[in-house]
Structure 1
C-alpha cells in the first residue's frame, strides 16, 4: 500500500513538474508581452506628445491668421464705408451732363471771343 502511494506520488510529482514548467513558460511569455506593451505605450506616448505639440503650434498659427484676417476685414469694411459715404456726399455726374457742361463752357468762350 505504501509502495502504491509512493508510485502515485512520483507520478503526481512528474505531472506537477510539468505544470510548474508550463507555468514558468507562461510567466515568461507574459513578462515578454508586458515589456512589449510598455515599449509600445512609450512609443505611442512620444508620438502622441509630438502630434499634440504640432497641433498646438498649428492652432496658434491658425489663431494668428484668423486675427490678421479679422483685422484686414475690419480695414476693408472701414475703407468701403468711407468710400460709400464719400460717394453719397459727392454725387458723381453722369458723363452726358459733364459733356454737356463742357460744351456749354466752350460755347460761351467762343461767344466771348466773337464778341471781343
Structure 2
C-alpha cells in the first residue's frame, strides 16, 4: 500500500507539469501569432519604404535635370547680359565722343561769332550764313549739351 500513494503523487506531479506545459504552449502560441502579425506589418513597412525611396530617387533625378537646365539658361542669359553691357559701354563711349565733338563745334561757333555792330537805319543788311536760324540753333545745342552734362553729373554722383 505504500506504493499506491507514491504512484498517485508521481502521476499528480506529471499531470501538474503537463498542465504547466500546455499553459506555456498556449502562451507561446499567442506570442508567435503576434510575431507573425508584426512580421507582416514589417514586410508592409519595408515595401512602403522601398516605394518611398524609389520616388525620392526619381524626384532627385528630376531636380538634377531642372538644376542643369536652370544653370544652362542662367549661363546663356549672363553671356547675353555681358554682350549687352559691352555694347552699352561702346554706345556710351560713342555718345561721349559725339558730345565732345558737338561741344567743340559749339565752342568754335561761339568764338567765330562776333557781336554784330548796329547797322545804320538807312542800310539794309543782307543775311549772312552765321546770322538768323543758325545762331539760335547753336545756342539750343549748347543748352542741350549743358543739360546733358548736368544729367550725367547727377547720374555719376548717384552711382
CA-CA distance at 1:92 after TM superposition: 3.5
Q: Aligned match of 1:84 in 87, 110, 114?
A: 110
In the TM superposition, what whole-angstrom CA distance separates every residue of 1:13-71 from its partner, at most 9, and x where no partner exists? 00000000000001110110000001000000000000000000000000000000001
Task: State the distance in 2 between where 1:52 and 1:98 align.
Answer: 71
1:31 has 2:31 as partner? no
Task: Give 1 or 2 for the bigger CA radius of gyration.
Answer: 2
Equivalent residue, structure 1, for 2:33:
7
Paired residues in the alignment total 99
Task: State the distance in 1 between where 2:121 and 2:64 align.
Answer: 85
Task: State the distance in 1 between where 2:49 and 2:84 align.
Answer: 51
Equivalent residue, structure 1, for 2:74:
48
- Write 1 or 2 for the structure with the bigger share of helix: 1
CA-CA distance at 1:99 after TM superposition: 7.2
1:67 has 2:93 as partner? yes
C-alpha change, 1:41 and 1:62, in structure 2 (3 Å) is: same
Please, what is the CA RMSD of the aligned residues?
1.9
Task: State the distance in 2 between where 1:23 and 1:36 align.
Answer: 20
Instruction: Mark the runs of 5 or more structure 1 residues left unpaired by the alignment.
Output: 103-116
Greater relative contact order (CA < 8 Å, ≥ 6 in sequence): 2
1:22 has 2:48 as partner? yes
Instruction: Mark the runs of 5 or more structure 2 residues left unpaired by the alignment.
Output: 1-26, 126-159
Other structure's SS at 2:44 match: helix
The TM-score normalised by the length of structure 2 is 0.58
